[in-house]
Structure 1
Amino acid sequence: MAAPETPSGYPNPLLPGFNPDPSVVAVDGAYYIVTSTFEYLPGLPVYRSTDFVEWEQIGNVATRPEQLEIAEVPTNLGVWAPTLRFHDGRFFVIVGVPGGRGCIVFTATDPAGPWSDGVVIEGLNGIDPDLAWDEDGTAIITFSGLILSGPETGTHLGIQQVRADLDTGEILTPVRDIWSGSGSMFPEAPHLYRRDGFWYLLIAEGGTERGHGCSIARGPSPEGPFTAFDGNPFLTARSTIRPVQNTGHGDFVTGPSGETLLVMLGVRPRGGTRAFSPLGRETFVTPVRWVDGWPIADPVAHAPRPELRDDVAFDGPLDNRWIAPRRLPAELASVDPAAETLTIRGAGTTLDGLRPAFVGRRQLAIATRAAVTADVSRGIGGLAVRYDEDTHVDIEARVDGDGVIVTARAVVPSLRQEWSARLPAGPVRLHLDSAFPDTDSFGTLAMTSDVITLWAESGGERVELAAVDGRSLSAETAASFTGRVIGLYATSGDVTFRAFSSLGTEAPSPATFGTAA
């Protein structure tokens, strides 16, 4: 699909749905992006493009559980903020897994994989690691000094740096404090570049919420000393009416036309006061001009693809876009290509647990109609949209005598509500639709992001069970840093699914009171 008409010529979001903390590299006429995945496996998706418009997920860095060790890790201590780089014929991903193996460096000759088992950088205490190389080939790791344990948990020590042996994981130098940022909170997400005789240090400041932004400094060497740009933050949406907010955590790359592009995360808040972002942090791009040696970034345009269709027939192995919490989808689900079905075996776990029998795909558009046909003659399960174990909305089916009981469920921290109805026996088509509120008033519906409607049909009968306010499944209310994942699950027995479909459509820009829609 061609890019929407925008000043940059690129679609925005560039990678829709749950794709935070992007890092980008250009190699031999192709572009590659890797994003964060927190508790999901496979982890660290690898996207490829030749024109910066059409992107294909070609693989995942972490395809084996032992690469990350996140089986029992809470969402927010999972896989954070990778940096993707290319050096001496190899691709490198350095990433922090605070509750798992720590700071890990993965390598591959082909970005589609397979990737190495990973080398742990022993003793590195921080997040958002960056990777660069000095002129003598020594690896430089620059990171945010966030303390994650002990009485000082949550304290930021600014941007720090070490040199390391990437083959052994040994840190070669003492930790250096190199920049504390321009004064906003949480200096993080550093990336180090060499350009026109300077070393530039790009960081995020202001927190990953509405104050987020990109700031930059430069110096004569990778260690500095660094002088901050007077125009910092040179990219931010704070206190603006722009439809894309929280823009920060950026990475530079040279685009197809030779222009500098800044790839970064952002959110698309909805509602009358634009308070709720249902898809979480997505990947965006904006052009950058260099003036007197400093970057000037264009505001991030909102240019979504008008339609995103995702239909799965289960006529072959599960593709690399399927993910599952803390386990690989293949551990939970089996495909029968001849019957075009997928079967998930439940083992008594529910969506409230750390390791549910759930396999899903990123929700790609705010307004989405998802459906699947479920055979629950041998088990209990259904269709769900999940933010994390504390926040999910689902529609579930089970056999009851000569009929099927369907139950809609909305779960947010400390609250749970259910609605049930009966349908004739047989396979049941389960539907989960999110839509923009249909209202002209300045009331409750006008304030929310979307409404999630749960309905089902079987034996020629149809029943609508619930219409759920979607604001609780948003970046501003869920405790995790993830996004919506729509998927299939089983709580007990074997549940067989066929014909999964998802169709997303986008409005040109979020509706906001006092501004044009």
Structure 2
Amino acid sequence: MSSAPAQLSPTVVDANGWIGGMFHNPVISGMHPDPSICRVDDDYYLACSSFEYFPGVPIFHSRDLVHWEQIGNALDRPSQLHITTDTPSSGGVYAPTLRHHDGRFWLITTNVAPGGTTMLFTATDPAGPWSEPIRTGIPGIDPDLAWDDQGRCWCTYAGIEQVRIDPDTGQTFGTPHRLWSGGTGAQAPEAPHLYRIGDYWYLLIAEGGTERGHAVSIARGPAPEGPFEPCPANPILTHRGVNHPIQNTGHADLVQSPDGSWWMVLLGVRPGGGTPGWHVLGRETFLTPVTWADGWPMVGRVEPALASPPWPALPLAAAPVRDDFDADRLHPRWISVRSRPDELCSLGERPGWLTLRARGASLDQPDVMFVGRRQQHLSCTARTLLDAAQGRGGLAVRLDESHHYEIEVGDGQVRASARASSLQTTLGTRTTPDGPVRLRIDIIASAPAQWHPREEPDTVRLGIEGSDGTFDVLAELDGRYLSTEVAGGFTGRVLGMYAAAGTVQFDWFDYEPTEPGPSISPEAILAP
């Protein structure tokens, strides 16, 4: 049970005495949508959606709500997460809720796939291992968990409907019932989270759809099953219809800090270019303060820079930009399309190299053997050293099977190719140099000063890098075709390595932000 809402000034001075100290949004950049957060003592934990990628549901840890470190993935075994080639891109794992209750961490999520279901998982350590799935009969997406004073567990889900559940077995009790139709009559009431705060139960939801009309509304009632009265100021947060660099704000969760202040994590996007604006990184995790008035939470607009939280910041960590593949297992930031069989992905076959064996014959195939990381910066460079002596593969920017750019080595050539929906073409070729080849992708965001109505959000360059750093560009492409506004769906870009034929090996992968990353103060730079 949370304490009564704290009445705080929105002007924050942190414990180091910084006046006007800033942190930058998003606090977790790249494709990390639908954030759900819980606090245990002085530690915060956060989970996000992962869609068709394996492993699923990244788990993050923070001590200050600004610096987040990925400590694992909740669904990191095939027995927990079964995503087949019948699952389309932007299907798979949707909207987890992460909670801590009675000494355990609880995570509930839905696998939106043929034969998929809503599943519960538990862990004593959020870094894992997490349990095998407890399957439920919950029919909707965006499930939430909340326990009342009698220890009964309530699951509320998109609709907005609710049913009581035994979280140890997944059994439901009674018939699901509708709780609330939303605060503004907008479409798609979803993403419910239920909290006991002071004398009331608060029901926080998203509505308006996850595009530009996205919004957050709230209601309160005397019991977890209602009845609920809407906040007179609904929606309490939305950026729809305003000229703001952060859009699509919604799907929020609340957390109280040890000092009594309240904060909201939520998803949003950063559109670039001209009209209508294209977001390419997917939906990201943002942070904003919450104050209370007359028993209702008040949230201002979510800004790119905000006053830092009022407690000491941790030392800044170096950005994880390079992997030499010297460990015995991949870092949890690495994800693959639908599955990653051990026999097709190895760090031990050639020590110090990542070995991939082909499955699907190209990035057009739903079972392509691909290992990548989310693009987290609007401008960045990705490089790898590839040995394709026994096969064919390369370096790619992937949005889905129908939208990707790649630089590929095989059959004596290096080829730059692009696919945008039904259009597919090879844009430039070179004869393969002797030995391993260094491939490079540069992504350059358009500057605001370049704006015109049809300005692209960024430019993508594909090519070969020499040992002296020179860049032989084989293709330069408009980045809008790898955006959600063009391709549809819910995901963002992933940069990574793939095998299309035979066996392909990679000595290292380097990811270099070429813009300032999020920061805790104007003088301190943090790249997530």
Equivalent AA in structure 2 for residue 56 of structure 1 = E
Retained in 1: the 8 A contact 2:70–2:332? Answer: yes
Q: How does 1:92-131 map to 2 (within 5 A)?
A: 92-99=106-113, 100-122=115-137, 124-131=138-145
C-alpha separation in 1, matches of 2:333 and 2:19: 28
Equivalent residue number for residue 409 of structure 2: 397
Equivalent residue number for residue 94 of structure 2: 80
Q: How does 1:281-296 map to 2 (within 5 A)?
A: 281-296=283-298
C-alpha separation in 1, matches of 2:21 and 2:108: 30
Q: Deviations over 1:392-444 (max 9, x none)?
A: 111101142xxxx1111111211112123224322111111100236966657
Aligned match for 1:467, one of 470, 476, 480: 476
Q: How does 1:7-406 map to 2 (within 5 A)?
A: 9-72=22-85, 73-99=87-113, 100-122=115-137, 124-145=138-159, 159-182=160-183, 183-255=185-257, 257-273=259-275, 275-303=277-305, 310-316=321-327, 317-328=329-340, 330-336=342-348, 339-400=351-412, 405-406=413-414
Equivalent AA in structure 1 for residue 476 of structure 2 = A
Equivalent AA in structure 2 for residue 80 of structure 1 = Y
Q: Structure 2: give runs of 5+ residues left out of the alignment.
A: 1-15, 307-315, 519-528
Retained in 2: the 8 A contact 1:425–1:458? Answer: no
Secondary structure of 1:476's match?
Answer: helix
C-alpha separation in 2, matches of 1:493 and 1:6: 58
Equivalent residue number for residue 429 of structure 2: 421
Give, in angstroms, the shift of residue 360 of structure 1.
Answer: 0.6
Give, in angstroms, the shift of residue 277 of structure 1.
Answer: 0.6
The alpha-carbon distance between structure 1 residues 309 and 106, as it changes in their structure 2 partners (threshold 3 A), is closer
Aligned residues: 487
Retained in 1: the 8 A contact 2:272–2:446? Answer: no
C-alpha separation in 2, matches of 1:79 and 1:330: 21
The alpha-carbon distance between structure 1 residues 504 and 256, as it changes in their structure 2 partners (threshold 3 A), is farther
How high is the sequence identity, in percent, across the aligned residues? 47
Secondary structure of 1:191's match?
Answer: strand
Give, in angstroms, the shift of residue 347 of structure 1.
Answer: 3.2
Give, in angstroms, the shift of residue 256 of structure 1.
Answer: 5.3
Retained in 1: the 8 A contact 2:353–2:505? Answer: yes
Between 367-376 and 345-354, report the one with greater CA deviation: 345-354
C-alpha separation in 2, matches of 1:259 and 1:328: 42
Equivalent AA in structure 2 for residue 143 of structure 1 = Y
C-alpha separation in 2, matches of 1:22 and 1:230: 26
Secondary structure of 1:173's match?
Answer: strand
The alpha-carbon distance between structure 1 residues 452 and 52, as it changes in their structure 2 partners (threshold 3 A), is same
TM-score under structure 2 length normalisation: 0.87
Give, in angstroms, the shift of residue 255 of structure 1.
Answer: 2.8
Equivalent residue number for residue 497 of structure 1: 506
Q: Deviations over 1:470-497 (max 9, x none)?
A: 0121122223211111110010111111
Q: Deviations over 1:203-225 (max 9, x none)?
A: 00110001101100001111111
C-alpha separation in 2, matches of 1:483 and 1:442: 23
Root-mean-square deviation over aligned CA pairs:
2.4
Retained in 2: the 8 A contact 1:387–1:473? Answer: yes
Secondary structure of 1:250's match?
Answer: strand
C-alpha separation in 2, matches of 1:499 and 1:127: 38
Retained in 2: the 8 A contact 1:181–1:187? Answer: yes
The alpha-carbon distance between structure 1 residues 508 and 499, as it changes in their structure 2 partners (threshold 3 A), is closer
Equivalent residue number for residue 448 of structure 1: 456
Retained in 2: the 8 A contact 1:41–1:329? Answer: no
Give, in angstroms, the shift of residue 458 of structure 1.
Answer: 5.5
Q: Deviations over 1:203-249 (max 9, x none)?
A: 00110001101100001111111110111111111111221111100
Q: Deviations over 1:152-198 (max 9, x none)?
A: xxxxxxx0000011222211011111100021111000000001110
User: 1 or 2 for the larger relative contact order (CA 8 Å, sep ≥6)?
Assistant: 2
C-alpha separation in 2, matches of 1:498 and 1:465: 22
Equivalent AA in structure 2 for residue 175 of structure 1 = P
The alpha-carbon distance between structure 1 residues 283 and 7, as it changes in their structure 2 partners (threshold 3 A), is farther
Equivalent AA in structure 2 for residue 114 of structure 1 = P
- Which structure is higher in strand share? 1
Equivalent AA in structure 2 for residue 30 of structure 1 = D
Aligned match for 1:411, one of 399, 416, 419: 419
Retained in 2: the 8 A contact 1:308–1:504? Answer: no
Give, in angstroms, the shift of residue 283 of structure 1.
Answer: 0.5
Retained in 1: the 8 A contact 2:41–2:258? Answer: no
C-alpha separation in 2, matches of 1:233 and 1:119: 35
Equivalent AA in structure 2 for residue 134 of structure 1 = D
C-alpha separation in 1, matches of 2:222 and 2:148: 12
Give, in angstroms, the shift of residue 32 of structure 1.
Answer: 0.2
Equivalent AA in structure 1 for residue 496 of structure 2 = G
Retained in 1: the 8 A contact 2:340–2:369? Answer: no
Retained in 1: the 8 A contact 2:414–2:430? Answer: yes
Q: Deviations over 1:260-311 (max 9, x none)?
A: 0000000001113361011010000100000111111121121499995511
The alpha-carbon distance between structure 1 residues 23 and 508, as it changes in their structure 2 partners (threshold 3 A), is closer
Equivalent residue number for residue 512 of structure 1: none
